[in-house]
A and B are shown apart, each in its own frame.
Chain A
């Protein structure tokens, strides 16, 4: 009986402690946001790495998702003569949920892994210790620019992904499903509301914060050696992906707004 309770209690306590450590880490980053020094060059580089270089993967995911979504909605809608809903449902589905979530997952795979691997390697090669001896706060120099950049870049990526995803649905609609181009676009615009797009952008910002936070946290807490860096990278991607897709918690709040 005691062993069974211990088996439940130990991982529960560990999970609570991990949540506490991540929360403290996030609070420390937020605490540094508005206090100098500001590392603008590092912020610019992070914006380029996280935002600009993620565009191809987000765009490709969006265009195929939009196309596949149009096909499946058409297949379902045709069973009760509701084919005309394809443009509006593609647009709403992409902007409210699929754009930010799939974009977030792609960025989690690409960015959280690279941040965790880079910072983890810096830790095991004593570069983080070197930063401290050079009177530079590693959290401020490494984590803050990446978290800010991801939080700013993700909504832009989501907006671009939304546009490309809707275009994917439109392409499939006019080439495979016999939709008239002008009618498809008119239906898309007529049924789409500002908050459909706005809520997706807000989700994008939250997902960006989560992705960079997980990358930085796991990188900073990487264990020694190649295995330690590998484990940190894996943990960063898995935790960011779970937080993006789970129905409650920080991302659930976003869903509640929609």
Chain B
């Protein structure tokens, strides 16, 4: 699926990856996290091959918001948010972890009463926010967002986009976001990369995206049926 992706993300910037369905955007994130093993190539973080790094220490630097939220159904909302804080060598006492979870929920616009609900009792937008709270709970250096606004109404999508931007700027984190939603791209991105045919077709600052002559980027950002990207894939 990916055939020679070459992409560099500067520390402290927000990179948004765009591309059609099935082009391997999610696979790219999963390769970085070690959820999918690439057949060949190298992924480096701060110049170090990620496959040779200590796995727990490496993952501790990441937070991820999954497309469907991926909240654990059997755990309460606050336990989902504090999942990492309650486990591992640096596990916090339950009361402290709960307090941090409630603070993170507040940060994403959810009331403390939400903390004791189960994920199934929340709306789709609330689940996304809880997923966002979980992604930032341990204050990671790098945050991945996999289609953060998919399935949300435009107003809720706007709220999530603003939250992501605010949190990334506030935490000084490096962000990588996958989306099809061009309003998300404009709200979240410092830089944009377009993935097509297994390679990065174009990458550059979001301010240059509209002016690029690349026909693939132009077709994608304007949502045209005609162009080099086949409508039926």
Contacts and interface: CB of A to CB of B under 8 A. Distances in A.
Nearest to A136: B87
A132 interface: yes
A37 B56 CA distance: 13
A127 B70 contact: yes
Nearest to A126: B70
B95 interface: no
B59 A133 contact: yes
B67 A126 contact: yes
B194 interface: no
A127 B72 contact: yes
A17 interface: no
Nearest to A141: B87
A125 B88 contact: no
Contacts of B72: 122, 127, 130
Main secondary structure, interface of B, reads loop
A14 interface: no
B146 to A, nearest CB: 8
A182 interface: no
A175 interface: no
A229 to B, nearest CB: 14
B98 to A, nearest CB: 15
B106 interface: no
Contacts of A130: 64, 66, 70, 72
A125 B67 CA distance: 9
A193 interface: no
A40 interface: no
Contacts of A129: 30, 33, 35, 66, 70
B66 A126 contact: yes
B68 A126 contact: yes
A139 to B, nearest CB: 14
Contacts of B67: 126
Contact of A135 (B66, B70, B84): B84
Interface string B60-81: 1011101110111110000000
Contacts of B87: 37, 134-136
Interface in B66-123: 66-68, 70-74, 83-84, 87-88
A135 B64 contact: no
A122 B70 CA distance: 8
Contacts of A122: 72
B178 to A, nearest CB: 13
A135 B68 contact: no
A134 B33 contact: no
Nearest to B60: A135
A134 B71 CA distance: 12
Nearest to B36: A129
A125 B74 CA distance: 14
A83 B74 CA distance: 53
Interface of B: 30, 33-35, 55-56, 59-60, 62-64, 66-68, 70-74, 83-84, 87-88, 134
Interface of A: 37, 45, 122, 125-127, 129-130, 132-136
Ranked nearest first, the 9 interchain pairs of A and B with the lowest CB-CB distance are A130-B70, A126-B70, A135-B59, A133-B64, A126-B66, A134-B84, A127-B70, A135-B56, A129-B35
